[in-house]
Amino acid sequence: MNIAEIATNRRTAKAFDPDRKIPQAIFEQLRVLLRFSPSSVNSQPWHFMVAADAAGKDRIARAAPAPYAYNGPKIRNASHVVVLCARTTCDDAHLEAVLAQEILDGRFPAPDAAASQRKSRLFYVDLHRHVRQDIRPWMEKQVYLALGTLLLGAAVLGIEACPMEGFDTGMLDAELGLNAKGLSAVAIVALGYRSSDDWNARLPKSRLPDERIFTAI
């Protein structure tokens, strides 16, 4: 596998074949990618809503009225659609749940390691909760790490994807009852196989040249 070749050939799908479905075994791999995505201090401030049938996809598509109506067919015709959500608060209960899972998974062989991890993570979380007061944008940044992991992983598995920010966040939060769960939608990713009508598949990719975006220091 040449990861650079995969990256240069990956294109956002603009139209999906509604008759092709991602095999369950393949989609399970995408779920693993999302679950094991990196996040700052392993905070994992996310939740993923998954729609695999017409009813679920239609609920998500309701949040794409004008001026986002062009995203409706992508959502409805995709095989699977994932709504990537961020927590609305990063409270101590969530942090303790993360720590408990780390203990269960055997992350702390030394007796005082768990306490050290708690202290270290709380320092960074409090930096954003109380000092910078940007905890929600900080949590959304972690969700975008998961988004990037999903997009590259899908390309490796031969799955086309379309990431979307073009939707009404308030409508989607209400439709899926996200705020009551302490969540808010950040992005939508439609996944599946592109149709022959996908004009983007026939166009060359365009990126700024290396010398414009890299600087050796």
Q: Tell me the catalytic residues.
A: 14, 74, 165
Terminal-residue alpha carbon distance, the chain: 30
Q: 42: Cβ–Cβ under 8 A, 6 or more apart, which residues? A: 98, 102, 121
Distances in whole angstroms, Cα of residue 64 to Cα of each of 1, 53, 98, 108, 184: 37, 18, 34, 45, 16
Element (H, E) at 85: strand 80-87
- The candidate with the shortest Cα–Cα distance to 57, out of 184, 162, 179, 197, is 162
